[in-house]
Amino acid sequence: MKHLKEEELIAYREGVAEQRAAISEHLAACEECRGELQRIEAVLAALDTLPVPEPGADYGRQVWKEIAPRLADKPGRWWQVWLEPRRLVAAGAVMALIVAAFVAGRFTKRDGTGDNIASKEQVRERILVVAVGEHLGHSERMLIELSNEAPNDPKQKQVDISAEQRRAEDLLQENRLYRQTALQEGDAGLASVLDELERVLLDVAHSPGEVTPAQLETIRKKIQVRGILFKVRVVSKELQQRQEATKPAPAQNESTKRERNKV
Amino acid sequence: MQPSADSTQAIAESDAIAVERTLAGDRDAYRVLVERHSHNVFRLAYRMTGNRHDAEEVVQEAFLRGYQKLGQFAARANFGTWVYRIAANYAIDRMRQRQKEESRREAPRVQDADGIENDPLNRVKDEAPTPERLTQSLELRKQMEQALAALSDAERTAFVMRHWEGCGIEEIAGVLKSSSNATKNTVFRAVQKLRRALQPIVGTRTQARAMGTES
């Protein structure tokens, strides 16, 4: 007789077994498996004796007393989710871009010469360059850390990538805003790299918090196949150069955009 | 004792009214929800964090966040389940924060001659108590607390929510941001680790009781 696996017995005991009837049937006929289940149950029964302190009959009132002074007059509405700090940071960056672009536009309109139109574009671009450069740096670090993740112990069957997953969620929101801004600014090359990065960030953000080494390898391969780390580095480097240059010539800008479109 | 289906339904309906009134600006209506669900949230938080101070912080934070996000709460959902989920998520963050604080204070990890890390689970096995010590329930409690503390955040969350709180796999998967199958595996791994750590002790204790040698 083929005995039940420990996994099946635990799933049965915890009420998550898929073939419950078949397991019950086997247990009725197999003394050895019944003994194994009893040993599991003995451990769980011992754990059930662990006490949870009783917080007291008026605990609910105490909690209310503690939190009431910290509550706003009215609870948050659905749109207030957009006022959460991390979203505010991303939205603030984009607002800064829009305001700066508007200011740049106001100044350049006064003269209306070809040189000033170029200068307006430069100002807009420089602001985008600084914000996106930082975002790409953060994304690169997260992807490198994820690629270097490994089980602490070779026997360990799962790798905890929850920290990277949460960072990917935050970066994803920023990435969407920067990609849209790059598209509006007509920087198709940057928008394209951000689009590819977004797909990778989406994969990581939607992964489970703990993955098997095989699942981690699949994520690593996806990152490698898309060559996203290389592209992010190339664009970051280029943005850095553009940021450092005090007065980038319009001709150079065009050539760098063309170069990036080739990446 | 588990509440009956009728009383659960009545509580859910009464919760829905309290949520509606809170959203309409009646702040005192939220008080009803806090007083009704604080005990359950505390039990979950204590089992997840393992200490009263953190558990109380989790309860307060869960209800504060619940109030701030109440506008996102779907009218047909169950408020108890919803605030429970907020508490579980915050408890995970709290445990991670606590681990970081502790790892900063701790000396570098010690490895034995074979290079095997001296983790808490190994300590449980190495310090297998003598029959005399087994009779001390405090010692067993300590071992069980150590075994629970040695689980990963996800394993502990999955075990607490499934085994002690009776939550559904989908609900736990939502908190862990994981798939149903991965969540089932997490429950399995948690029980397996607890078993490996505690069976030598629990087994001996059960045997001693059967032989009448345990006081």
**Mean pLDDT of the A32-46 span:** 92
Distance CA B82, CA A225 (A): 40
Q: Output phi, psi for A210, to 5 deg.
A: -125, 130
Q: A204-213 burial, b if ≥16 CB within 10 A, otherwise e?
A: bbebbbbbbe
Strands A159-160 and A210-211: antiparallel
Question: Chain B residue with minimal CA distance to A46?
Answer: B202
Distance CA A1, CA A16 (A): 24
Closest CA to B109 of B96, B123, B97, B98: B123
Q: Three-class SS of residue B11?
A: helix
Token pair listed for A74: 């009215």
| B residues 8..27 contacting A (CB < 8 A) | 22-23, 25, 27
**Cβ-based contacts of B89 with chain A (< 8 Å):** none
- B67, A76: Cβ pair inside 8 Å? yes
Query: So what's the pLDDT on residue B12?
Result: 66
Distance CA A36, CA B15 (A): 43
Interface predicted TM-score (ipTM) of this complex, two decimals:
0.76
pLDDT tens track, chain B, 215 positions: 445 566 666 666 788 889 989 988 888 899 999 999 999 999 999 999 989 999 999 999 999 999 988 888 766 678 988 999 999 999 998 888 887 777 776 655 444 444 444 444 444 444 444 445 444 567 788 889 999 999 998 999 999 999 998 888 998 998 888 899 999 999 999 999 999 999 888 865 555 554 444 44
Which of A74, A77, A209 comes nearest B154 by C-beta? A209
| B residues 75..114 contacting A (CB < 8 A) | none
- Does the pTM surpass 0.80? The reply is no
Token pair listed for B41: 């949230």
Distance CA B191, CA A13 (A): 10
Segment A199-239, tens digit of pLDDT: 888 878 777 777 778 778 888 887 887 788 888 888 888 87
Query: So what's the pLDDT on residue B35?
Result: 95
Q: Cβ of B155: how many Cβ atoms within 10 Å?
A: 24
Residue A160, H or E segment: strand A159-160
Token pair listed for B140: 């067993």
